Structure 1
């Protein structure tokens, strides 16, 4: 593994949710509302209709700030996709599909870490960073469940 590979991550999370796909898609297409139901999403500021700045912080004592630019929003296919630049750079995609009486929300992300502190800790911290991401995604699913029940 070369040094750059140590700062490259691929993530996939699957969220089984007891709500209809249109309701899940509607919640996920509004990232400015994420801080209301996803504790690790600290802020989202819209810059324009397709671009915003997101700051996340999970269990570890560091924040990650990136600019998100929407590259795809397809309600019929259930796909939301953004490119990311900043502390992490790459792309992230939600794919929302019917799953029996509910919904399967699949989150895929492929990014390179640019934040200097995280790059320096790439080798010793990789497994901790991956665990940190899993914990964040678990909390996001729980938050979205509560949010969907409330709306």
Structure 2
């Protein structure tokens, strides 16, 4: 089994609430995140989202698929979403949001280990490609989310630039 720790930082010219809402609405991620093939609700969780379980299917830039569930473990609106992954990879994913420079800074931590033997072999032989793939998929997510946020209606009382 191979272990990975990825850190991603994004900045959006959008209110923190809009970014938080988009990140918590992961059933709609396939509409704007290239490479995300499907998200399926498995368990609803409580009113704050704690305990919600969703099944994700990702197709990497390298052609392989990752399938895993994410169980939401912590939510602090609008600043934190943390989930526990179980499936082809196991570990944690943590979104931290803060207001910055008139927009929203997003910091994502993805600490996982591979479960399938072929993934451990791939990571052992081609770790730089796996790392490149992760970062390429996160860049695509940032572009997609940015476009998605720009299509949202402007809240009443805010100026349109």
TM range (shorter): over 0.9
Whole-angstrom distance in 1 between the partners of 2:100 and 2:12 = 9
Instruction: Write the mapping of 1:1-150 to structure 2, written as runs, cut at 5 A.
Output: 4=1, 7-49=2-44, 50-76=52-78, 78-150=79-151
Aligned-pair Cα RMSD in Å: 0.9
| Unaligned segments of structure 2, at least 5 residues | 45-51, 153-161
Using the TM superposition, give the Cα deviation of residue 56 of structure 1 relative to its aligned residue in structure 2, in angstroms.
Answer: 0.9
Task: Give the aligned partner of residue 49 of structure 2.
Answer: none
Cα distance in 2 between the residues matched to 1:74 and 1:16: 19
- Cα distance in 2 for residues equivalent to 1:30 and 1:61: 26
- Given the two structures, how large is their TM-score scaled by the length of structure 2? 0.87
Give the Cα–Cα distance (whole angstroms) in 1 for the partners of residues 107 and 72 of structure 2.
17
Aligned residues: 145
Give a deviation string over 1:102-143, Cα, whole Å, max 9, x none. Answer: 000111010001123211222211110000000000000000
SS in structure 2 opposite 1:121? helix
Q: Under a length normalisation based on structure 1, what TM-score does the superposition of the two structures give?
A: 0.93
Structure with more helix by fraction: 1
